[in-house]
Amino acid sequence: MRALGPGSVSSFLKIILDVVFAALWIALAAVALGVLAAVLFSFNPDLFPDVLSNNAAMVARRGPLFAGMLAVFALSLAGVLTIVHSLRRIFVTLTGGDPFHPHNVQRLRLIGLMLAALEVGRYGVWGVSSLVPWVKDVKPDLSLTAWFSVLVVFVLAEVFREGARLRREAELTI
């Protein structure tokens, strides 16, 4: 089976990325609705009388915190959505038989930056989670795999940059 062009592995992976992209948009919309519901509930707990128990005041006080946690989750979903969108664009060029398209370099760099931002965001969540009283035994660890992935993506971006440069030179050769 071919790796590039129509009917290849890259076109199959592009279809999978399209499905994941749509699912991520749906998840992001659901989380946004959850943030809105948490904020509304914190301002007016009587909006959801069936949910209320004897601890309605405690639940209402935690509403903004819950909304904040959902907002952080929405940001991480947006980061993953950006990565998948960039991958989709790369796979469009692969399916078209043009792997060393000049824009793929920027797309790979964006993927590397988003992977790094997601990892730094994970550290931020660990730092803030120690301030939340009901969260216990959070042990942050340094993920060497994540940072190795970031480095690999940046190296691949440079490989694609060099491939695009060589392709430009070959096009100028008579």
Which residues, 6+ apart, have CB-to-CB distance to 34 below 8 Å?
70
Which residues, 6+ apart, have CB-to-CB distance to 145 below 8 Å?
none
Q: Quote the pLDDT of residue 118.
A: 94
Q: Is 102 exposed, middle or buried (0-12, 13-18, 19+ CB in 10 A)?
A: middle
Q: Quote the pLDDT of residue 56.
A: 55
Q: Quote the pLDDT of residue 51.
A: 56
Q: Quote the pLDDT of residue 25.
A: 96
Q: Residue 3 in contact with residue 12, Cβ under 8 Å?
A: no
Rounded Cα–Cα distance for residues 169 and 156 (Å): 20
Q: Quote the pLDDT of residue 61.
A: 64
List per-residue pLDDT tens for the chain, 174 residues long.
677 777 778 888 899 999 999 999 999 999 999 888 877 777 766 665 655 555 555 555 667 777 888 888 999 999 999 999 999 999 999 888 888 888 999 999 999 999 999 999 988 888 877 777 666 666 777 889 999 999 999 999 999 999 988 888 888 876
